[in-house]
Amino acid sequence: MKLFYDLAPIILFFLGYHNAGFIAENTPVGSWLDPAQPEVISATIIATGIAIAASIIQVTGFWLKNRRFERMHIFSLVLITGLGGITIAFGDPAFIQWKPTVLNWVFAGAFLISQFVGEKSLVKRMMSGQINLPEQIWVRLNISWVIFFIISGFANLYVAFYYATELDAKTRMDFWVDFKLFGLMGMTLVFVVAQAFYLSRYMETDNDQDLSNESGKG
């Protein structure tokens, strides 16, 4: 449920973009758009506006429920409001297309800095309550997330600006919107599963040690 809540602005951006024609024809939004604009620009503006509203609701809802803000939600809101606002104002999708890259690279920087600042890296803070690992494995795990976020940022840039440049703008934007939801999420899922397989050997070792300790007590 939390995963869906975190992804809500991205999912609604996807739905808004692919249903922009229906939204424009059946809501007052259509009257706010310049009829001379290409379809891809209008669809991007509609989707971006929906995503900004969804992010505001996301941050507000989280605060009302928990009486605190989540940093990821706040930073995502700042990015989508800033870059999305420029996209809406100038009718240029390039600004909102930069958002996943900036977000991923900021995460990469945060994980990297945490490796050298503070007592625990970000990965260790998040996972040390569930699993015990040698310190060198925590380091390896944290750096792997840094690398993953950097690669994800470059993947987004490639799809947004360099993939299939011979195609028309609408087709390329359609592909990027799909990649933004399914591609980046799929990359994350594959990485998390691979990480789970890597960590399983240490979880088995911990379980064996616990069984040995219980047997010793008996």
> Can you tell me the distance from the alpha carbon of 36 to that of 121, in angstroms, rounded to the nearest whole number?
51
**Of 44, 57, 80, which Cα lies nearest the Cα of 176?**
44
Query: Quick one: pLDDT at residue 214?
Result: 47
Number of CB atoms found within 10 A of residue 89's CB? 10
- CB-based contacts of 195: which residues, under 8 Å, 6+ apart? 141, 144
Helix extents (H) in the chain: 2-18, 20-26, 29-32, 39-66, 71-90, 94-97, 99-116, 122-127, 135-157, 169-178, 184-217
Query: Quick one: pLDDT at residue 150?
Result: 98
For the entire predicted model, the pTM comes to 0.87
**Of 104, 107, 94, 116, which Cα lies nearest the Cα of 44?**
94
- The two tokens of residue 89 are 């104002």
The residue behind tokens 């507000």 is 60
Query: Quick one: pLDDT at residue 118?
Result: 83
Number of CB atoms found within 10 A of residue 97's CB? 21
- The two tokens of residue 160 are 């947004």
Query: Quick one: pLDDT at residue 2?
Result: 73
> Can you tell me the distance from the alpha carbon of 99 to that of 37, in angstroms, rounded to the nearest whole number?
23
**Of 107, 1, 95, which Cα lies nearest the Cα of 52?**
95
**Of 81, 91, 36, which Cα lies nearest the Cα of 58?**
81
Whole-angstrom CA distances from 57 to 29, 43, 61, 77 are 19, 21, 6, 10
Please report, in tens digits, the pLDDT of each residue of the chain (218 residues total). 677 788 999 999 999 999 999 999 999 999 999 999 999 999 999 999 999 999 999 999 999 999 999 888 999 999 999 999 999 999 999 999 999 999 999 999 999 999 999 889 999 998 888 888 889 999 999 999 999 999 999 999 999 999 999 999 999 999 999 999 999 999 999 999 999 998 888 775 554 444 444 444 54
